[in-house]
């Protein structure tokens, strides 16, 4: 179950990272509330995953999911530049996250 918590935490990290952009420096109420709620949810789920996963692995995967997702959504929704270099390094980041999952030690709470 720890990996499920971690993936959901990573998806919520994408939400709050993008929410930061839409909150316009926390000056817009709706996006600010969305950002805070998804941030808190992400942290709670990360802490639940870290109960049984090594913190280094859990944190790295959480950050990787968030960074990858925020960058991709930034390119799609916010029209941020799509360059060969960015795509290359995003692919490397995705490979690293998958590699961490595949090489993580088995844990009591792992499914």
Cβ atoms of 42 and 69 within 8 Å: the answer is: no
Q: What is the spatial distance between Cα 6 and Cα 50, in angstroms, rounded to a whole number? A: 8
Four-CA torsion 88, 89, 95, 97, nearest 10 degrees:
-150
Q: Which two tokens stand for residue 1?
A: 């179950």
**pLDDT of 56-70, one tens digit each?**
999 999 999 999 999
Q: What is the mean pLDDT of residues 67-88?
A: 96
Q: What is the mean pLDDT of residues 45-56?
A: 95
pLDDT over 90 (residue 3): yes
pLDDT over 50 (residue 111): no
DSSP notation for 28-47: SHHHHHHHHHHHHHHHHHHH
| Domains of the chain by residue range | 2-103
Length of the chain, in residues? 111
């Amino acid at each position: 179950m720890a990996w499920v918590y971690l993936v959901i935490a990573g998806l919520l990290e994408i939400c709050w990272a993008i929410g930061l952009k839409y909150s316009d420096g926390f000056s817009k109420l709706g996006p600010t509330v969305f950002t805070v709620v998804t941030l808190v949810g992400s942290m709670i789920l990360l802490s639940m995953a870290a109960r049984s996963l090594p913190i280094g692995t859990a944190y790295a995967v959480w950050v990787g999911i968030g960074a990858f997702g925020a960058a991709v959504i930034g390119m799609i929704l916010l029209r941020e530049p799509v360059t060969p270099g960015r795509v290359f390094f995003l692919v490397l980041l995705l490979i690293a996250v998958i590699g961490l999952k595949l090489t993580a030690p088995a844990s009591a709470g792992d499914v």
